[in-house]
Amino acid sequence: MIPWLENHSPFPPVEQALSAEQGAAGLLAAGADLSPYRLLNAYQHGIFPWFSEGQPILWWSTDPRMILKTNALKISNSLKKTLKRSLGDRRWAFRFNTAFEQVMRNCSAPRRGQDGTWISEDIITGYTKLHYMGYAHSSEIWLDNQLVGGGYGICIGKMFYGESMFAKVSDASKMALVQLVVFLRQQGVEMIDCQQETSHLASFGARPVRRADFVKHMNKAILEDPIQEWIPLNSQNFQEYLVDKQLHKSDELKSNAEPD
């Protein structure tokens, strides 16, 4: 029902992905490899790999697509307090890209109730190569010089594709997500691809959109100038984000109140 790709084969159009009625919603193709070229080409077309150990490489393009707009991030009051407290405590450190492979390996650890992981050694090798090429990035939370939370993803132009997160202490993955979103918004990135719908992502403001709308935005965003410097979260830029977000919300309310 889906095409088998050789290493030189192009991806089929994302519109050919299977539907829910066909039993594997979003499944587009199988095969090929996880070379940096193949991975970049996949993301540039709204496609991502997802498969378990022992399976062939499976390529997906879900519809609807779960996305998080960087101006729509929901931060609970308790998480705001945790962030402000941690940002003022020298035991905590907020970083980007200092331990990319370590973040991936922590993300690959089996979760509670799961026997295995889709983040195989081949996945780690492929994405680590993208990291050294400047396309894959990690958001990291450190406590007493120990990596306790983080996540990673791909950034092409002004489009970020989230992949996975982990936490060893309470709220650490949430803090890594906030660091990432605050930074990306301040860099002009409007949308983060979350791939698949989950209640956890929805609690942060992520929502499903039509794949066609996602692809339309992505096609423009990937052509914009890439981010040159990844600046970690600090008290100042976090406060600026909160103020800017509140002003944006006020402008929206005023706009909605205006008569047609």
The structure's pTM equals 0.92
CA–CA dist 59, 32 (Å, integer): 10
The CATH class that applies to domain 66-248 reads alpha beta
CA–CA dist 124, 174 (Å, integer): 22
> ω into residue 64 within 30 of 0, thus cis?
yes
Domain ranges of the chain: 4-62, 66-248
Task: Output the pLDDT for position 1.
Answer: 83
User: Helices (DSSP H) in 16-75: which residue ranges?
Assistant: 36-44
**How much of the chain exceeds pLDDT 90, in percent?**
83
3-state secondary structure of 91: coil
Architecture of domain 4-62: 2-Layer Sandwich (3.30)
CA–CA dist 72, 189 (Å, integer): 12
Tell me the per-residue pLDDT of 31-75, one tens digit each, with 9 for 90 and over. Answer: 999 999 999 999 999 999 999 888 999 999 999 999 999 999 999
CA–CA dist 138, 160 (Å, integer): 12
- For residue 88, what are its two tokens? 């003022």
* Residue 154 · residue 180 · CB < 8 Å: no
